[in-house]
Amino acid sequence: MRLSDVLSKPLNNNFVQVEGFLDDKKLKLGKQKRIAVGKIGLTFFCKGCNDDRTFCSDDDLFCIGVNDHLISIDSALKCSCCDSLVQIWFLVISNEDIHSHAPNVRILKRSEKLSDTVVIHGEQFGNFTELLEKAQRAYREELGAGSIIYLRRVFEQITVKMAGVVGIDTKNVKGSRKAFKDLLREVDEKCSIIPKEFSENRYRLFSELSNVLHGDYDEQLGLQKYEAFRRLVVGIIDNVKNNEEMMTAITTLGWGTGDETHD
Q: What is the pLDDT of residue 246?
A: 57
Question: Which tens digit of pLDDT belongs to each residue from 31-45?
Answer: 999 999 999 999 988
- Bridge partner residues of 53 (DSSP): 44
**Same domain flag for 102 and 151:** no
Which domain does 94 fall in, by range? Answer: 3-119
Same domain, 76 and 153: no
Q: Are residues 140 and 222 in the same domain?
A: yes
In a domain? residue 260: no
My answer on whether 221 and 133 are in the same domain is: yes
Burial of 195 from C-beta contacts in 10 A (0-12 / 13-18 / 19+): middle
The Cβ of residue 204 has, within 10 Å, a number of other Cβ atoms equal to: 10
CA distance 71 to 92: 5
* List of long-range contacts for 7-12, beta carbons under 8 Å, 24+ apart: 7/40, 7/73, 7/90, 7/92, 7/107, 8/40, 8/41, 8/42, 11/107, 11/110, 11/139, 11/140, 12/106, 12/107
Measured in degrees and rounded to the nearest 5, phi and psi for residue 171 equal: -115, 155
The number of domains in the chain is: 2
Please return the burial class of 155, using the count of CB atoms within 10 Å of its CB with bins 0-12, 13-18 and 19+. buried
β-bridge mates for residue 41, sequence order: 56
- Exposed, middle or buried, 163 (CB in 10 Å: 0-12/13-18/19+)? buried
If asked whether residues 170 and 216 sit together in one domain, one would say yes
Beta strand 61-67 with 51-56: parallel, antiparallel or unpaired?
Answer: unpaired
* Least confident piece of the model among 5-19, 39-53, 236-250: 236-250
Tens digits of residue pLDDT in 131-187: 888 888 888 788 888 899 999 999 999 999 888 888 899 998 888 899 999 999 999
Beta bridge pairs of residue 110:
90
Check: pTM over 0.85? Answer yes or no.
no
Among 75-84, 114-123, 172-181, 199-208, whose mean pLDDT is lowest?
114-123
Specify the DSSP class assigned to residue 179. P
Q: Are residues 85 and 109 in the same domain?
A: yes
Has residue 258 been placed in a domain? Answer: no
- Helix spans in 167-201 (H): 180-191
Distance from C-alpha of 112 to C-alpha of 109, rounded to nearest angstrom? 10
